[in-house]
Structure 1
Amino acid sequence: MLELKGKLQGKVLIVEDDETTGPWLVKRLAKTGLDAVLANNKEDALKEFESNIFHAVVTDVYLDRDQNKHAGLDIIKAIGPTGTPLVIMTSAADLEIAREGINFGAAYLLEKPFEVEKLIEVLEKLWTEPRGLGAILDRFLDLNSLTNKEKEIVRLMMKGLSNREIANVSKNTEKTIKYHFTTIFEKCGVGSRTELFNSVFPT
């Protein structure tokens, strides 16, 4: 069981192939009371996950040793269904990667470089509020007084769907979806999908 008062207690899998960043994160997290385990490629990460109980997984998206620019997303796809809190860290944080990661179960996106205190803060939020980004999105939608239809459209947008795809899923015309986005942008005080995403999940 996690103890969130005082020092954190829990087991965290760090997936990072950088020879400096990985050990540094493990060492810093250990000072907070966490048991951090390091894996530097997808294969080792999945083996560690299968043989241990982790309270969270923090993975880089780009793992050069795997020669796979999206190896981190493959890890998220594999671990996401288990319900284990997942955090993406990347030096190439962009909307597309964030959407994919969220769609496959990631809860937070950390853009490198970041202070270890920020990661600790994220882990605390994940363990006290397991729904992670989903809860943040719900609060944002309620705060801006979006209708149920508008909320549905925003959630579909967050999964990376185009206007045409949203229209098909929600059984509306593409023209209607564009109209809804105009209203959504006005209510949220933004001018584009990217601005809307960044308003909900600032990095």
Structure 2
Amino acid sequence: MTIRILTVDDHPVLREGIAAMLSADDDLDVVAGAGSAESGLEAFRQYLPDITLMDLQMPGMGGLLGVRALRAEFPHARVVVLTTYRGDGNAREAMAAGACGYLLKNALRSELVDCIRKVHAGRRYVSAEVCADIAEHVGEETLTAREQHILQLLAAGLANKQMANQLDISAETIKSHLARIFEKLGARNRTEAIHIAMRRGMLNQPVL
């Protein structure tokens, strides 16, 4: 049985490269490509592929919201996130959004093919590097949605009072949230918290 594939990535060269790379296998067929999550949804409705390869960082709604929107409309859609971003934060959010696989773009062709076939067979697949990132933080308390939002405002350079005004809460409450964020991340200050969050992929996710 041929596995029909949709690639969603804003880099045309990468989409073309994936199509050329997978064309060597008789059971794999890239039926369409799209440059954004929005156009990816339209392409999915038209072609109804077996597997969708979705990038995370794209103009518009982006890949994470794209996965959520796709799975909301098509609950049985099988999506593999194919991205340059490792880190447990990215992977956790993607899998929670409904992705069945998480693979880095520097993966070997053999791993990409293996991932596609396993996900098509109903299994999940996460690259070894990302599995190691997740394992490193197993059992740790995760950030709440409010803490995630404050972390992104912190990374954007906002002072405590500015964050308080934007969120319509007191500056003291902001201080309390920051203290909890630092504790959860194992950071001693703002700069270290941002550095850790970037390394773990916590600042590439949209605030919902």
Q: TM-score, normalised by structure 1?
A: 0.57
Q: Which residues of structure 2 form unaligned runs of 5+?
A: 127-137, 145-208
Where 2:91 maps in the other structure, the secondary structure is helix
| Amino acid aligned to 2:83 | T
| Amino acid aligned to 1:85 | R
- The equivalent residue for 1:119 is 112
| Amino acid aligned to 1:60 | D
- The equivalent residue for 1:149 is none
Determine the C-alpha separation between the residues in 1 that align with 2:35 and 2:19.
12
Determine the C-alpha separation between the residues in 2 that align with 1:79 and 1:43.
10
Contact 2:118 2:125 in 1 (8 A): no
- The equivalent residue for 2:65 is 74
Determine if the alignment matches structure 1 residue 27 to structure 2 residue 27.
no
Contact 1:55 1:85 in 2 (8 A): yes
Where 2:63 maps in the other structure, the secondary structure is helix
- Listed one character per residue, the Cα deviations across residues 21-61 of structure 1 (whole Å, up to 9, x for unaligned) are 11000111122132212111122101001112110111110
Q: Where do 1:149-160 residues align within 5 Å?
A: none
Determine the C-alpha separation between the residues in 1 that align with 2:34 and 2:4.
13
Where 2:12 maps in the other structure, the secondary structure is coil
Determine if the alignment matches structure 1 residue 58 to structure 2 residue 53.
yes
Identity value in percent: 21
More RCO (CA 8 Å, sep 6+): 2
Matched pairs, number: 130
| Amino acid aligned to 1:61 | L
Q: Which of 5, 11, 33 is the matching residue for 1:18? A: 11
Determine the C-alpha separation between the residues in 2 that align with 1:133 and 1:35.
20
Determine if the alignment matches structure 1 residue 110 to structure 2 residue 103.
yes
| Amino acid aligned to 2:12 | E
Where 1:31 maps in the other structure, the secondary structure is coil
Contact 1:25 1:116 in 2 (8 A): no
User: 1:133: how far off?
Assistant: 5.2
What RMSD, in angstroms, separates the aligned Cα atoms of the two structures? Answer: 2.6
Determine the C-alpha separation between the residues in 2 that align with 1:27 and 1:72.
23
Determine if the alignment matches structure 1 residue 84 to structure 2 residue 50.
no
